[in-house]
Amino acid sequence: MSRLLSDWRDRPTHHRVWALAAPMILSNISVPMVALVDSAVIGHLPHAHQLGAVAVGASLYTFLAFLMGFLRMGSTGFAAQAAGRADGAALRQVLVQGLLLALLFAVLLGALAIPFSHLALGLMQPSAALQENTLAFFHTRLLGLPAALASFALVGWFLGTQNARAPLAILLTTNLLNIVLNLWFVLGLDWGVLGSARASVIAEWSAALLGLALTRPALRAYPGQVAWALLRRWQSWRPLLSVNRDIFIRSLALQGVFFLITVQGARLGEATVAANALLLNGLLLTAYALDGLAHAVEALCGHAIGAGDRGALRRSMTVACGWSLIVSLGFAGVFLLGGHWFIQLQTDIPSVRETAFEYLPYLALLPLVAVWSYLLDGLFIGATRAREMRNGMLLSVAIALPFAYAASGLGNHGLWLGFLLFMGLRAVTLGVMGWRLQRRDGWFVV
């Protein structure tokens, strides 16, 4: 306990954590703000199927894009460890590999996306109006997929170098431009659902181009050259691809859970799927804010592991853990006391509002349950321990799914109870694996 208190009182660690976390929280919060603006703008159009189309279409796009989350997470861990070793050549290799993988997977996903959207909507069994608007939104959003995946790789790489300003610029450009264009295209030009999608595409490409421009000044701090000959060898790709494979499986399982929530919500009716989307916007707001602290953990813990500094690793985790708990308590209080205002801000459709109000207590509980999995994800990403992340996610899904199936008779209440259990299991499984690694000093074993 005395060591824990001593670590918490270490002021330089607090400064390092917040130097990374503050810009990332600011930029991350702008991500769910886009979803909130989408919901608020579309939610004040006259028909529930328009809001439902944006909710379902965005869910389909997010499912595909976030499957590629390994492009960010894999880049962060390797870049952080290379920065800890002051290895400029390795940093350049990670950057080039991330961008090449982003281009490759954008092409592959683009080929699969159209049949995927028809299959998914077939499972949801939506109304004709909802299906037509969802397909129009989703197919337009696909035009921004290459830029979105490139931004994933760039943000991860910048975080690994402990450069929080560049990700701030990338994410704020994406999301603030998206908000402005959403208001203009939907309300000003009366483009409806398509206007929302077009705004996102323009914003994604603008941010990706900015990120590429920012890499040049960032590399000046780490002298070196790209070893092009190494990039032609399979051996140089193997570590990154191995980690990315495990993170991909983990992301597939996670996005599968969110996809199932959307599918089941759509089967319960247009008002339910729209209400769940509004509530999940609250989870996104919480997750992206807490992810700012998790990103600090990724960079600081990866750097400490690369430098072989056990004390810095322990202090970084202690400080980030304390602040994560404080922030999650704040969000729980906000949703408990101001949840009705949060829903009313997003829509004035009576049936959607009434449905969302009923399930607000689940949203208030989520920050307290989910915070630990976000924090532990940051530690495992920084340590490039993707296999443990994969195994923990698969185990959590395997335990939660039977429970969710058994609770399906409770309707949307059963859906939310199953989701809360899943988020809690994520934290428990990663916590046990982290404790085992700590006991055998496994964080520093390659």
Tell me the backbone φ, ψ of residue 243, rounded to 5 degrees: -65, -45
Provide the token pair at 140: 């337009």
Q: What is the dihedral of CA 200, 206, 212, 214, to 10 degrees?
A: -110
Q: How far apart are CA 333 and CA 342, in angstroms?
A: 13
Cα–Cα dist 193/71, whole Å? 29
- In angstroms, the CA 353 to CA 349 distance is 6
- Alpha-carbon gap, residue 194 to 185, rounded angstroms: 9
Count: domains in the chain: 1
**pTM of the predicted model over 0.75:** no
Chain position carrying tokens 């924090």: 375
Can you give the pLDDT at residue 432? Answer: 92
Q: Pull the structure tokens for residue 205.
A: 């490409």
C-alpha radius of gyration, the chain, whole number = 21
Which two tokens mark 350? 């009576």
231 and 95 Cβ atoms separated by less than 8 Å: no
- Residue 306: predicted pLDDT: 74
SS3 content of the chain, % helix, strand, coil (to 5): 90, 0, 10
Per-residue model confidence (pLDDT) at position 329: 93
**Residue type (1 letter), 344:** Q
Q: State the pLDDT at residue 38.
A: 64
Q: Are 208 and 244 in contact (CB under 8 A)?
A: no
Distance (Å, whole) CA 398 – CA 257: 11
Cα separation, 334 vs 37, in Å, equals: 19
State the DSSP code for 5: H
How large is the angle between the packed helices 270-307 and 350-358, nearest 10 degrees? 50
User: What pLDDT score does 314 carry?
Assistant: 83
Q: Which domain holds residue 370?
A: 2-444
pLDDT of residue 350: 83
Amino acid letter, residue 266: A
Which residues make Cβ contacts (< 8 Å) with residue 359, sequence separation at least 6?
A: 275, 276, 279, 412, 413, 416
Count how many residues are written for the chain: 446
Alpha helices in 46-182 (DSSP H): 48-67, 70-84, 88-124, 128-141, 145-160, 165-182
Per-residue pLDDT of the chain (446 residues; tens, 9 = 90+): 567 777 787 788 888 888 878 777 776 665 555 656 666 676 655 555 666 667 677 777 777 777 777 777 777 877 877 777 777 777 888 888 888 888 888 888 888 888 887 777 776 666 676 777 777 788 888 888 899 889 888 988 888 887 878 888 888 888 788 888 888 887 778 777 778 888 888 988 998 999 989 988 878 877 777 777 777 777 777 777 777 788 888 878 887 887 777 777 777 777 787 788 888 888 878 887 888 888 788 878 777 877 777 888 888 888 888 898 999 999 999 998 888 888 887 777 788 888 888 889 999 999 999 899 988 988 888 787 878 888 999 999 999 988 888 887 788 888 889 889 999 999 999 999 988 888 877 677 65
Contacts of 269 (CB under 8 A, 6+ apart): none
Is the CB of residue 37 less than 8 Å from the CB of residue 308? Answer: no
